[in-house]
A and B are shown apart, each in its own frame.
Chain A
């Protein structure tokens, strides 16, 4: 089955700790994305990558970092510099980078930082 996997589903961390969220896809998609969703809000773009070894900041990149060493993988690190990290994190991918390509989402990781 092709799809996008994110792990873990729930993650709990203490304030001041860095944490890495996993995202893997076997759809052979070129582009991958990370979004953050807060309660009652839409999705806000953190980072995106159109090709291996290249990525761009989204609208709320501060306090986050990513890497794209393999086409299939796009991990997100939430650093201690992120002021309000508790949120629902969604990874997505799309077949290409044209403006007409729809994005498909993984199941999400719910991060709670206390």
Chain B
């Protein structure tokens, strides 16, 4: 069964520091990788997607993909209290178009 694994946290990071969130996936055929941010009681919001090995930067966010090791990570620089949320990693199934599998999420808490 295809799986996406994340540490549930909570991950506590001081304001201004770098938050590092990790995700591993089981299907070597996966091609597309997504990070969503979900505030409590709200729907997920797409913040990053990455398709190629290496790093992709967007503002304070950097997604890192290593297909050989089957992990994808999200770095948040200069963490702000507003970054406190649950971060969901999502990976395509590698077989069926349109379907992606979500991890259970990592809860991030930025302490002032």
Q: How far apart sit A107 and B102, CA to CA, in the bound complex (Å)?
A: 18
Of A58, A105, A106, most buried by chain B (CB within 10 Å of CB) is A105
Please tell me if the beta carbons of B31 and A99 are within 8 angstroms of each other in the complex: yes
In the assembled complex, B98 has its CB within 8 A of some CB on chain A: yes
Residue A31 is within 8 A (CB to CB) of chain B in the complex: yes
Q: Which residues of B does A touch, CB under 8 Å?
A: 4, 8, 31-32, 34, 42-46, 49, 51, 88, 90, 92-94, 97-100, 102-105
CB of B8 within 8 A of CB of A90, answer: no
Contact between A42 and B97 (Cβ–Cβ < 8 Å)?
no
Please list the 10 inter-chain residue pairs (A to B) with the smallest Cβ-Cβ separation, ordered nearest first. A42-B102, A42-B104, A105-B43, A43-B102, A99-B92, A97-B98, A108-B43, A100-B32, A97-B97, A102-B49
- Chain A residues whose C-beta falls within 8 Å of the C-beta of B32 in the assembled complex: 99-102
Are A48 and B49 neighbours in the complex by a CB distance under 8 Å? no
Contact (A43, B44) CB under 8 Å given A48-B98, A50-B98, A94-B98? yes
Q: Contact between B43 and A106 (Cβ–Cβ < 8 Å)?
A: yes
Query: Taking beta carbons and an 8 Å cutoff, which residues of A are in contact with B?
Result: 31, 33, 35, 40-45, 48, 50, 58, 90, 94, 97-108
Partner of A42, one of B51, B92, B93, B103: B103
- A101: chain B residues within 8 A (beta carbon): 32, 98
Cα distance A50–B4 in the bound complex, in angstroms:
23
Interface centre among B8, B45, B105 (most CB of A within 10 A): B105
A101 to B99, CA, bound (A): 10
Inside 8 A of A31's CB, which chain B residues have their CB? 98
Kindly list chain A residues whose C-beta atoms are within 8 Å of the C-beta of B105. 42
Contacts of B92 in A (CB 8 A): 99-100
Given contacts A107-B43, A108-B43, contact A40 B8 (CB under 8 A): yes
- Please give the distance in Å from A92's CB to the nearest CB on chain B: 8
